[in-house]
Amino acid sequence: MDKLYYVTTPIYYVNDLPHIGTAYTTVAADALARYHRLKGEGVYFLTGTDEHGQHVARAAERNGVSPKEWADRMVTHFTEVWRRLNISNDFFIRTTDPRHMEVARNFIQLLYDKGDIYLDTYEGWYCVPDESFWLPSQLVEGKCPQCGREVEMVQEENYFFRLSAYADRLLEHISSHPEFVQPDIRRNEVISFIRQGLADQSISRKTISWGIPLPFDESQVMYVWFDALLNYVSAIDYSLDEARFRGIWPADVHFIGKEILRFHAIVWPAMLMAADLPLPRQVFAHGWLTVEGEKMSKSKGNVISPHDLVDEYGVDAYRYYFLREFSFGYDGNFSRENMTGRYNADLANSLGNMVSRVLAMVERYRGGEVPGPGVEEAVDTALRESADLAVAEVDRCMERFAFNEALQAIWNFLASINRYVDETAAWDLAKDPDRSDRLDTVLYNQVEAVRLTALLVLPFMPATGEGIWERLGYRRSIHEHHLPAAAAWELFPPGQKVSKGAPLFPRKDAAR
Using a 10 angstrom Cβ sphere, with 0-12 exposed, 13-18 middle and 19 or more buried, the burial of residue 65 is middle
Span from 31-39, 228-236, 417-425, 442-450 in contact with ligand ME8 (CB under 6 A):
228-236
Strands 253-257 and 217-222: unpaired
Q: Which residues pair with 161 in a beta bridge?
A: 117, 201
Rounded CA separation 422/426 (Å): 8
- Alpha-carbon distance of 234 to 101, in angstroms, equals 8
Which residues have a Cβ under 8 Å from the Cβ of 22 and sit 6 or more positions away? 12, 16
Q: Which of 27, 56, 181, 229 binds ligand ME8 (CB under 6 A)?
A: 229
Residue 203 or 289: the one with the smaller Cβ distance to ligand ME8 is 289
Residue nearest ligand ME8, Cβ-based = 21
Query: Would you say 325 and 337 are in contact if contact means Cβ atoms under 8 Å apart?
Result: no
* Segment interacting with ligand ME8 (CB under 6 A) among 159-167, 179-187, 257-265, 388-396: 257-265
What part of residues 45-104 is at the interface with ligand ME8 (CB under 6 A)? 50
Burial of 242 (0-12, 13-18, 19+ CB in 10 A): exposed
Rule CB under 6 A: is residue 24 a binding residue for ligand ME8?
yes
Q: Residue from 4, 6, 7, 11 that binds ligand ME8 (CB under 6 A)?
A: 11
Among 67, 257, 329, 462, which residue sits at the site for ligand ME8 (rule: CB under 6 A)? Answer: 257
DSSP 139-192: -BTTB-TTT--B-EEEEEEEEEE-GGGGHHHHHHHHHH-TTSEESHHHHHHHHH
280 binds ligand ME8 (CB under 6 A): no
Q: By CB under 6 A, is residue 464 in contact with ligand ME8?
A: no
CB of 353 to ligand ME8, least distance (A): 32
CB of 264 or CB of 451, closer to ligand ME8: 264
- The yes or no reply on residue 12 touching ligand ME8 (CB under 6 A) is yes
- Measured between alpha carbons, how far apart are the two ends of the chain, in Å? 52
Please choose, out of 13-21, 158-166, 189-197, 481-489, the segment that lies near ligand ME8 by the rule CB under 6 A.
13-21
For 211, phi then psi, to 5°, come to: 175, -175
Q: How far is the CB of 31 from ligand ME8 (least distance, A)?
A: 15
182 binds ligand ME8 (CB under 6 A): no
Q: How many residues at the interface with ligand ME8, by CB under 6 A?
A: 20
Written as one string, the DSSP assignment of 344-389 is IIIIIIIIIIHHHHHHHHHHHHHTTBPPPP-S--HHHHHHHHHHHH
Q: Are 58 and 128 in contact (CB under 8 A)?
A: yes
Pick the binder of ligand ME8 from 5, 6, 10, 450 (CB under 6 A).
10
CB of 110 to ligand ME8, least distance (A): 19
- Among 4, 5, 6, 25, interactor with ligand ME8 by CB under 6 A: 25
Contact residues toward ligand ME8 (CB under 6 A) are 10-13, 16, 21-22, 24-25, 50, 228-229, 231, 256-257, 259-260, 288-289, 296
